[in-house]
């Protein structure tokens, strides 16, 4: 089985990694503003200009209004870029699915970076999100995140209907990021 992998590095590394790596590189966030006098903001066009392939949208650490999610998702799509829209729960995921993003990741904020995986602590969040999103946008692929640490968490998320996972802390805090990535990939 092949597994698709993308990374979302810090903004200062985006252009360099997008030009050096074969895996898709995504921005961690884009803003719903046009290019111009926007110091400190990142419009989707800037992400495209540096060779990134898309962006996370609405991560719990950088939330947007529903209208801004619609705006950014549409602009990314118009640029041929991928939107990975994040939602904190089933209700938000169902609501944001109406914008038909290619990917929607459910991540309960209180489990992000923690020791308990959403796949074991709240498995219904994954299965209910999958069902809700399929009803609204059947083509949207559901991912899950929050506390995903090892192959068991990945395998359980897939059993619950997730098409993949969103991971940060398990890799960035690992003594060996490479070993952590290999462990997670073995869950597929």
Among candidate residues 29, 107, 149, 183, the one labeled active-site is 107
The stretches of 7-150 forming alpha helices (DSSP H) are 14-20, 44-49, 66-78, 90-96, 118-121, 123-136
* Residue 7 DSSP class: B
Give the H/E segment covering residue 178: helix 177-185
Cβ-in-10-Å burial (0-12, 13-18, 19+) of 102 comes to middle
59 is catalytic: yes
Residue with tokens 């419009």: 43
Numbers of helices and strands, H then E, in the chain: 9, 6
Among candidate residues 59, 61, 91, 183, the one labeled active-site is 59
Q: State the Cα–Cα distance between residues 149 and 142, nearest whole angstrom.
A: 18
149 is catalytic: no
Q: State the Cα–Cα distance between residues 186 and 188, nearest whole angstrom.
A: 5
Q: Which of 100, 141, 106 is nearest to 124 (CA)?
A: 106
Residues carrying an active site annotation? 59, 107
């Amino acid at each position: 089985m092949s597994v698709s992998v993308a990374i979302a590095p810090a903004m200062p590394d985006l252009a360099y990694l997008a030009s050096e790596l074969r895996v898709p590189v995504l921005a961690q966030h884009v803003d719903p503003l046009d290019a111009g006098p926007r110091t400190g903001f990142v419009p989707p066009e800037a992400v495209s200009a540096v060779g990134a392939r898309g962006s996370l949208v609405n991560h719990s650490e950088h939330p947007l209004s529903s209208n801004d999610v619609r705006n950014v998702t549409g602009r990314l799509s118009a640029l041929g870029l991928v939107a990975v829209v994040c939602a904190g729960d089933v209700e938000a995921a169902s609501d944001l699915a109406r914008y038909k993003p290619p990917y929607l990741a459910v991540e309960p904020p209180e489990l992000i970076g923690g020791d308990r995986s959403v796949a074991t602590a709240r498995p219904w969040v994954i299965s209910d999100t999958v069902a809700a999103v399929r009803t609204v946008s059947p083509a949207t692929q559901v991912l899950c995140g929050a506390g995903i640490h090892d192959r068991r968490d990945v395998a359980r998320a897939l059993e619950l209907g997730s098409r993949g996972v969103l991971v940060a802390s398990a890799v960035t805090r690992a003594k060996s990021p490479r070993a952590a990535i290999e462990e997670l990939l073995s869950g597929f």
